[in-house]
Structures are given as C-alpha cells and as structure tokens.
Amino acid sequence: MFSFMSLGWYWIVVPLVAAGLGILVLLRGFGHAARGHGGKGIAHMAVGSPLALLGLGVALVALNTQSFARLTHEDDVANVNVKTLDRTKNLYHVTIQRLDGPTQTLTCDLQGDEWEMAARVQKWKPWANVLGLDTTYTLDQVNNKYYDAARGNGKPITACDLRGPAPAVDQWVPNSWLVWLVGQSYTEDRRFGSAAYMPLADGAVYKVVMTQSGLNAEPTNDIAKGANAARP
C-alpha cells in the first residue's frame, strides 16, 4: 500500500532540508552584507539562492507526483464469479471472494440481468488523503439489477448481505462518539453510497476495486468482457 512514508518519502524531505539550508545561507549572506562584509555576503547569497530555489522546486514536483499517486490509489475489494443456475429464469449463482481482509467467500443466488455490489463510503479531505488517509468503506450488499426499469418492474428483488459482524470497537465506543470525533477533526469530506454493477453471464469473472471516489468493477476474463461489451 502506498503511504507518505513509502520508499519515495525522501524525495520530499531531502529537498525541503536542502531548501531550508539554502534559506539559512541566504539570510547569513544578507547579514554579512548589512555588516559591511560585501564579499562574504555575495558569496553566501550566490550559494543560498539557487540551493533554496532548487530544493523547493524538487520538493514541489515530488509532492505533486505523490499526491497524484495517492489520489488515484485503488484497493482490491472482491472477485466475483458467475455461474448459470436456470437460464430460462435468468437465475445465477454468484460467488464473492473478499480481498480486503481475511479470506472470506460468500455465495448468493441472483435473478436478473446484472449483479450490483453496494457499499457505504467515507471520503476524506484532499489534504488528509494525500497524507495517507485512504477512503474507508463498509460493503453493504450484493443484489440483482435489470437492464432497464421497464424490464425490472414487477420482477423479484434478490439480494445477499455483505456487511458481516460489527467492528470490535463498537462494543466499547458508541458509534455516535466516533462520528463526533471525525466531525471535530475536520478530515472528513463526505459520506455517500456507492455501487458497481456488471452483467450476469455464465463463467464471467469480475474484480471489484475501491477507488478514492467509490466502487468500480472490471471484467477480468473474456466471457465477462464479451458480456460487458454486449450489454444494452
């Protein structure tokens, strides 16, 4: 997982230290000049000015690069495998392998044209995100979906729970306290629901990832790619 203290952290810290030293040398140059030591003052300013500018420039470029990497960071959430149970009824057996923690495999029978995975998402402010606080989430459920509303009207809703047990911290700290603490820290940007969906097709395999903006689903085999390309 990328973090501010990953292998690239020194590309920011070292240039900033160099810039700091450059500023100190530059200030000493002004001091020498003010005391009438023009030669020493010019020499110090000639060294300090480019050192400070170069250090700040490199640090800004490095920070911009790491910020982009952080803001585009993705975590694998689950693999989704689809098998047909009854083609005439559009009934499918969906296997979900969780990738965001201890190995856990869940199964669900869905009737429809597409599967949809939903999550409750907590997004952080950009400055906290850059410093290493990734989007947090709780998977909610997987359910069926139809290609259009008219096709889905009157059809059954099939869904399975993905939430799992509540976090251990909930036994000791009331959720209202946690919400209050997050609100007072001014790090949270917003909370929202996010969902990703893909076609139900026999033999299709998909991967679900959590981005800094929410869930996204990707076909990972030829069957899934073909089904996705052929969807209305």
> Among candidates 193, 225, 231, which has minimal Cα distance to 207?
225
Residue that terminates a domain, selected from 71, 88, 120: 71
Tell me how many domains the chain contains.
2
**Does residue 222 belong to any structural domain of this protein?**
yes
Instruction: Let me know whether 201 and 177 are in one domain.
Output: yes
Same-domain check for residues 33 and 139: no
**Is the domain of 138 the same as that of 80?**
yes
Give per-residue pLDDT as tens, 78-137: 999 999 999 999 999 999 999 987 788 999 999 999 999 999 988 877 767 666 677 888
The reply to whether 5 falls in a domain is: no
Helix (H, G, I), strand (E, B) or coil at 72: coil
> Do 214 and 177 share a domain, yes or no?
yes
Task: List the domain range (segments joined by +) for residue 17.
Answer: 10-71
Helix axes 10-34, 38-71, angle to 10 degrees: 160
Q: How confident is the model at residue 15 (pLDDT cuts 50, 70, 90)?
A: low
1 domain-assigned: no
Q: Which two tokens stand for residue 180?
A: 């209050």
Rounded-to-integer distance, Cα 66 and Cα 23, Å: 25
What's the pTM? 0.65
One domain for residues 67 and 89: no
Q: How high is the mean pLDDT of the chain?
A: 79
